[in-house]
Structure 1
Amino acid sequence: MLYDCRSPADRDRGIAAAIEAVKNGELVVLPTDTVYGIGADAFTPYAVKALADAKGGARQAPPVLIGSRHTLDGLVFSLPRSARELVEAFWPGALTIVVEHSPSLAWDLGDSSGTVAVRMPLHPVALEVLRETGPMAVASANKVGQPAALTAEEARDQLGYGVRAYLEAGPAPDPVPSTIVDLTGEVPRVLRQGAVSLEKLRDVVPDILDERGV
């Protein structure tokens, strides 16, 4: 089902359907502040596998989206000061941080070597869903090798009936990917330049390294 979240009534129905689907271990497509994402409950291994299968066998561990900054404390063993400073400055928004997750977490996101990429998106529909479902594994809503979907309809054209609910909120307003920062080492390092520039990152954490380690 595709729900047009630009209509208040359809938005309410769609968000309720998406929350129910995630809690039942099914897949949903939802808007974010970058591109549309296909998501599943991060703590349901068969749902995370279904997400990878829907994309066509994605092997990388998917990022995890959360609906509140406070949720981060429950996912990590200890959060570096630089991580807290970046989160305060750029969340919700297009910044993904890679941190060591708590070893006690009962999830299987794939081969992630004890780390997780986490983001809190700046989109009201996504946040409303995430605040009810808890952490979701979310990847770009497209088949491997195909362009990222900029609407839920584009995502449905690629992903079809493998997804229970599609939440349409119109074209992605700023389809630049999130910036990814690795915070697992001694010094923070940018893994992917994206919507948040290196200059803005260095305003908050001056010693952050770019992709070349400079």
Structure 2
Amino acid sequence: MAKIVRGSEGVGQAIELLAAGKLVAIPTETVYGLAADATNGEAVASIYEAKGRPRFNPLIVHVADMKMASDIAIFDSLSRKLAAAFWPGPLTIVLPLRLGHPIHALVSAGLDTVGLRMPDGLAHEVIARLDRPLAAPSANASGRISPTTAQAVEADLGERIPLVLDGGATPVGVESTIVKVESGTVRLLRPGGVAAEDIEAVIDMPLARGATGKVEAPGMLASHYAPTANVRLNVSALMPGEALLAFGSFAVAGSPLATRNLSSSGDLREAAANLFAYLAELDASGAKSIAVMPVPDHGLGEAINDRLSRAAAPRDKPTAPE
């Protein structure tokens, strides 16, 4: 089983393991990431193996500063403006790879671009002290619910990794927003911890939307973030034996097997932070189906609804339009 270690002792152990090419689960402000040295091919391959992750699904690279980021990818004025506004923080920017970059080819899954993010907190400390970029998708089996606590990581991947660095519950609770910067435009690939409206305010233009039909970044599979139970969205009444993922103060008809309310006050930030933990708790209730009340689609609601729609998608579809 994985050791769960907090504080400076945990940071030191994490750095030793990562330097040796091992996997470590680390907390970011979004969810816990399954981290490996992004320059080490065998270490990166261990991420895919531990997660059971499709090889065509690329990994986000986490950096400590702009020098590290600029050694990996080519920034233009627009991408630098985004980095200045939102880093450290829950924004991933997809950029062209720089010639001679140190990132192993498995990280980008054959693409000529890479998703970069600068995390905050303990993850940032680990990367800065290690002085190497880290590939770090969410620390869960591929397609399953992303973990927001060290205990959730241990329950899912504890048999496959040596260490979980415990930083408590993650404050944002959904993965990073992913945007791609190209030809003077910014295209939203995945909604997440930074609201689209906040990005548009910084770049002073609307975000482009719509997929190209190929996987360009993590989280673009149709079925993703999925519990074992089926998920039914936008319900106003329950079926017998269903668990309920509620939102706000309104009631639905029927008697749920179990209930969790993302935010009884209708706070989308609170709802995002609770999403994955509550899905996991309802999944453990024994219900074969989880009914989900409607969630507004503005601000962080866009990211919440994106994750819920992928959790509810048919489990046999390889890719999805945005």
TM-score (ref. length: structure 1): 0.90
Name the SS for the 1:139 alignment partner: coil
> 2:151 maps to what in 1?
153
The residue type paired with residue 84 of structure 1 is R
Relative to 1, partners in 2 of residues 1:110 and 1:90: Cα closer, same or farther, differing over 3 Å?
Answer: closer
Alignment of 1:64-83 (within 5 A): 64-76=61-73, 78-83=74-79
The residue type paired with residue 49 of structure 1 is A
RMSD: 1.6
Q: Which runs of 4+ in 1 moved over 6 A?
A: none
Structure 1 contact 103–114 (Cα < 8 Å) conserved: no
- Offset at residue 52 of structure 1 (A): 0.6
| 131-140 vs 103-112, greater mean Cα deviation | 103-112
Q: Whole-Å Cα distance in 2 between the matches of residues 105 and 120 of structure 1?
A: 17
| 103-112 vs 63-72, greater mean Cα deviation | 103-112
Name the SS for the 1:155 alignment partner: helix
Relative to 1, partners in 2 of residues 1:164 and 1:174: Cα closer, same or farther, differing over 3 Å?
Answer: same
Larger radius of gyration: 2
The residue type paired with residue 22 of structure 1 is L
Structure 2 contact 180–188 (Cα < 8 Å) conserved: yes
Q: Whole-Å Cα distance in 2 between the matches of residues 185 and 3 of structure 1?
A: 44
Q: Whole-Å Cα distance in 2 between the matches of residues 84 and 207 of structure 1?
A: 15
Alignment of 1:79-118 (within 5 A): 79-106=75-102, 107-108=104-105, 109-118=107-116
Name the SS for the 2:136 alignment partner: strand
> 1:24 maps to what in 2?
20
CA deviation profile, 1:8-58 (whole Å, cap 9, x unmatched) = xxx111111110111100000000000101010000001101001100133
CA deviation profile, 1:135-158 (whole Å, cap 9, x unmatched) = 000000000122111111211111
Q: Whole-Å Cα distance in 1 between the matches of residues 154 and 180 of structure 2?
A: 32
- Offset at residue 84 of structure 1 (A): 0.3
Structure 2 contact 62–117 (Cα < 8 Å) conserved: yes
- Offset at residue 165 of structure 1 (A): 1.6
1:129 aligns with 2:126: yes
> How many equivalent pairs are there?
206
Structure 2 contact 5–163 (Cα < 8 Å) conserved: no
> 1:201 maps to what in 2?
199
1:138 aligns with 2:131: no
Name the SS for the 1:16 alignment partner: helix
Unaligned runs of 5+ in 1: 6-10
Structure 1 contact 97–117 (Cα < 8 Å) conserved: yes
Relative to 1, partners in 2 of residues 1:112 and 1:184: Cα closer, same or farther, differing over 3 Å?
Answer: farther
Structure 1 contact 191–210 (Cα < 8 Å) conserved: no
| 203-212 vs 92-101, greater mean Cα deviation | 203-212
Name the SS for the 2:93 alignment partner: strand
Structure 2 residue aligned with 1:36, among 27, 32, 39?
32
Structure 1 residue aligned with 2:210, among 196, 206, 212?
212
- Offset at residue 208 of structure 1 (A): 4.3
Relative to 1, partners in 2 of residues 1:187 and 1:210: Cα closer, same or farther, differing over 3 Å?
Answer: closer
| 201-210 vs 141-150, greater mean Cα deviation | 201-210
| 47-56 vs 161-170, greater mean Cα deviation | 161-170
> 1:2 maps to what in 2?
3
CA deviation profile, 1:37-80 (whole Å, cap 9, x unmatched) = 1010000001101001100133212100111233111112x311
Q: Whole-Å Cα distance in 2 between the matches of residues 88 and 57 of structure 1?
A: 32
Structure 1 contact 2–168 (Cα < 8 Å) conserved: no
Unaligned runs of 5+ in 2: 212-322
- Offset at residue 172 of structure 1 (A): 1.6
Name the SS for the 1:71 alignment partner: helix
Q: Whole-Å Cα distance in 1 between the matches of residues 37 and 126 of structure 2?
A: 11
